[in-house]
Structure 1
Amino acid sequence: MKALIPTGDPAEPVVLADVPEPVPRANEALVKVEAFSVNRGETFKLEAPAPGDRPGKDIAGLVVQPAADGTGPAGIARVVGHPMAGGWAELAAVPADALAVLPDTVSALQGAALPLAGLTALRLLRTAGPVLGRRVLVTGASGGVGHFVTELAAAAGAEVTAVTRDAARGARLTELGAAAIVHDPADARGPYDIVLESTGGETLPVALARLARRGTLVWFGQASRTPATLDFFDFFDGPESAVIRHFHYLDADTGLGDDLAALVRLTAEGRLHPEIGRVADWADTATVLTDLRDRRIRGKAVLTLS
């Protein structure tokens, strides 16, 4: 079968190659991939791939062989899946508990855009706690996670301030429920009960200073690729009893399949809108990856298999 494999070349990070078909374990279903999405964090890992790496975490397609242990969707079911690797291929072996059925009202493009960004947003808000009536600052809001978390938080009753680079992206976030848009975290008025921070670098201490008393900053990324420096005394003089919390989306009390099903349901009901900034044939994946890495794509990028 055909699959995309890493090259280690920043100008062309992946190429199509012939690889053996996956052999599913007893708890895995074999999925014919119709579409997959790529994430900016994956572009960083492609800069120094390990031997045998097979990228790909976000897929939508058709179950052609159900899990042998009887778990998960039955054969010929349309599904969205979140394998830990190997999704950028014609066929993918996916744990049955990392799959959710797609109804006819949700397209493969929408489904493929949901997993990593949607799971991160959903679980990030659960980590932050109840947001009804609370002021929330979201940095890096123009990416896939930012769109999802803005819409979910606003729908749950939060007053969301989104940090994004330009007016066009801000306009879309306003449509999704953001109460305010700023282009620099220093312009965010605050104080905020919750800060969801994914940029790192100079942004982190600026965002931290805008926390309210006993507020929480959840640090879930470093998209700037610049280390952050925090001064204890600056923090001590800032919000009283504030909390900085690390976040990893796989550390959750709910299953991947259950949360994927929740995201699919919200999408089918018109309550969640995957923001797809580009759709292309998977032969163009290398170009899409470089454009995503260099911030030339808003929201999610989805590749289709012809």
Structure 2
Amino acid sequence: MRRLIPTGDAARPVAFAEVPPPVPEPGEAMIKVEAFAPNRGETFLLEHPRPGLLPGKDVAGLVVQAAADGSGPAAGTRVVGHPAQGGWAAYATVPTHSLAVLPHGVDSARAAALPLAGITALRLLRAAGSLAGARVLLTGASGGVGHYVTELAAGAGARLTAVTATPARGARLAELGAHLVHDVAAAQGPFDVVLESTGGPHLPTALAKVRPGGLLVWFGQACRAPVALDFFELLNGPERVTIQHFHYAGDPYASDLAALVHLVEGDRLHPEIGRTADWAETADTLVDLRERRIRGKAVLLTGEER
């Protein structure tokens, strides 16, 4: 079968290889991949790929071999999945605790855009607590996670300010109900909750805008620069602010995937897909995703969708 493997070349991060199909563990189903969605974090891993790296965490397709232990969906079922790796291939094995069934109304392209970004958004908002009427600041808002957070938070009654690099990258966020600014320093606080994903010098600026007793949830470092906090500067800022480190990972994923699919089917969540292309264009798409030339998610199609 065909699989995309790392090359170590920043200009062409992946290339096709012919390899044997994967062998599923007893609790894994074999999926014929119809669509997959890379994440920007995966583009960073490809800059200096570790030996044995098989990228691909967000897939949608058809179960062609059910799990041997009897768990999960039967063969012939359309699913969305979140494997640990290996999804950029004609076939992938996915643990059944990381699969959700797709209804007829949800196509593979939209489904593939859901897993990592959508699960992150759901779990991030749970960490933030009740948002009805809350003032929320979201940095790095124009990626896949940011679009889901914005739509879900606005739907929950939050008053959300979103930080994007340009007006064009924030256009859809404004349609979803966000107030846009293009520099975190321009955000008019104080905020009850700050959801911070850029790191570097942006986090201290965002932290200064939290109300006394408020919460900052730190869930990314997209600028790729470490954060420096000055204790004495904090003394002049808001009092008793909580800084919470957040990472989405932790099995099982099936229930959150099912919740996301249900929201999409009910027209209450709309994946923002900035590019859909054949998987022959994966290398170029990865470069554009890494360089922030794609708004929202990118989805690659294997040509196998039914």
Indicate whether the TM-score tops 0.5. Answer: yes
Alpha-carbon distance in structure 2 between the residues aligned to 1:19 and 1:198: 37
Q: Which residue of 1 aligns with 2:27?
A: 27
Q: Does residue 1:10 correspond to 2:7, yes or no?
A: no
Q: Which residue of 2 aligns with 1:103?
A: 103
Cα drift, residue 220 of structure 1: 0.6
Q: Which residue of 2 aligns with 1:226?
A: 225
Structure 1 residues 78-116: Cα deviation after superposition (integer angstroms, max 9, x where no partner): 000000100000000000010001111111000000000
Q: Which residue of 2 aligns with 1:138?
A: 138
Q: Which residue of 1 aligns with 2:92?
A: 92
Alpha-carbon distance in structure 2 between the residues aligned to 1:244 and 1:264: 31
Cα drift, residue 251 of structure 1: 4.0
Letter in 1 for 2:12: E
Q: Which residue of 1 aligns with 2:288?
A: 291
Letter in 1 for 2:36: F
Match runs of 1:108-257 below 5 Å: 108-178=108-178, 180-251=179-250, 255-257=252-254
Structure 1 residues 28-66: Cα deviation after superposition (integer angstroms, max 9, x where no partner): 000000000011100000011111110000000000001
RMSD: 0.8
Q: Which residue of 2 aligns with 1:262?
A: 259
Alpha-carbon distance in structure 1 between the residues aligned to 2:75 and 2:302: 20
Letter in 1 for 2:292: R
Cα drift, residue 165 of structure 1: 1.4
Structure 1 residues 173-208: Cα deviation after superposition (integer angstroms, max 9, x where no partner): 011121x11000000001001000000111111000
Alpha-carbon distance in structure 2 between the residues aligned to 1:279 and 1:25: 31
Letter in 2 for 1:175: E
Alpha-carbon distance in structure 1 between the residues aligned to 2:267 and 2:169: 20
* Deviation >4 Å, runs of 4+: none
- Residue aligned with 1:259, SS: helix
Alpha-carbon distance in structure 2 between the residues aligned to 1:45 and 1:25: 25
Letter in 2 for 1:273: H
Alpha-carbon distance in structure 1 between the residues aligned to 2:106 and 2:132: 28
Alpha-carbon distance in structure 2 between the residues aligned to 1:193 and 1:64: 47
Out of 271, 274, 295, the position equivalent to 2:271 is: 274
- Any stretches of 5+ residues in structure 2 without a counterpart? none
Letter in 2 for 1:93: T
Number of matched pairs: 303
- Residue aligned with 2:3, SS: strand
Alpha-carbon distance in structure 2 between the residues aligned to 1:26 and 1:245: 37
Question: TM-score, normalised on structure 2?
Answer: 0.98
Structure 1 residues 200-253: Cα deviation after superposition (integer angstroms, max 9, x where no partner): 11111100000001111110100001111111111122111001110010147x
Letter in 2 for 1:274: P
- Residue aligned with 1:263, SS: helix
